[in-house]
């Protein structure tokens, strides 16, 4: 199934995070289950319709979780990037206008080997102070 793409934020991505099925290696499986996570690049309704059409009537499709596509605020003078993953920021609705920023590498974030270097931590303190000053003057 081709996934949508946006010229500014890139492609919708798919992670097959869980696959289960069968009863024993010598038995034809009577059951299979997969959990798929899509990174949205816009409203979800078209993608949902496409998934249902592709899956057909042979399988049951549920949509238990939706983290909506979100364009986050930027701060002048701070570099930005577009990442092919999602964030739980849309669920943090009582905290004002959110920013997504932090020290370290996204490649180890939220893993068993997550770490930041001491210099990155010190730089983050300076960065957070700069952001706070900029936000207080706007």
DSSP-assigned states of every residue in 74-106: --TTS-----SS--SGGG-TTSSS-----SS-T
Residue 109 DSSP class: T
Question: Residue 13: exposed, middle, or buried by beta-carbon count in 10 A (0-12, 13-18, 19+)?
Answer: middle
In angstroms, what CA-CA distances link 48 with 4, 16, 75, 83? 12, 16, 33, 22
Burial class (CB in 10 A: 0-12, 13-18, 19+), 99: middle
pLDDT (tens place) for every residue of the chain, 138 residues total: 999 999 998 999 999 999 999 999 999 999 999 999 999 999 999 999 999 999 999 899 999 999 888 888 888 878 888 887 788 888 887 877 888 888 988 889 888 999 999 999 999 999 999 899 888 887
What contacts 109, CB < 8 A, 6 or more positions away?
A: 102
**CA distance to 56, 60, 72, 103, 111, per residue, from 69 (Å):** 26, 25, 10, 23, 23
Query: What secondary structure letter does DSSP report for 44?
Result: S
pLDDT for the residue 93? 77
Rounded to the nearest 5 degrees, what angle is found at the Cα of 36, between the Cα atoms of 31 and 37?
160
pTM: 0.71
Q: How far is residue 33's CA from residue 18's CA, in Å, rounded to a whole number?
A: 8
């Amino acid at each position: 199934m081709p996934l949508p793409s946006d010229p500014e934020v890139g492609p919708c991505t798919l992670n097959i995070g869980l696959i289960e099925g069968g009863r024993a290696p010598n038995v034809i499986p009577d059951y299979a289950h997969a959990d798929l996570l899509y990174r949205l690049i816009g409203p979800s309704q078209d993608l949902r319709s496409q998934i249902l059409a592709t899956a057909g009537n042979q399988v049951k499709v549920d949509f238990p979780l939706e983290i909506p596509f979100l364009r986050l605020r930027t701060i002048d003078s701070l570099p930005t990037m577009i990442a092919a993953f999602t964030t739980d920021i849309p669920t943090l609705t009582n905290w004002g206008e959110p920013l997504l920023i932090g020290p370290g590498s996204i490649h180890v974030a939220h893993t068993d080997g997550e770490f930041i270097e001491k210099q990155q931590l010190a730089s983050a303190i300076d960065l957070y102070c700069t952001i706070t000053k900029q936000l207080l003057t706007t």
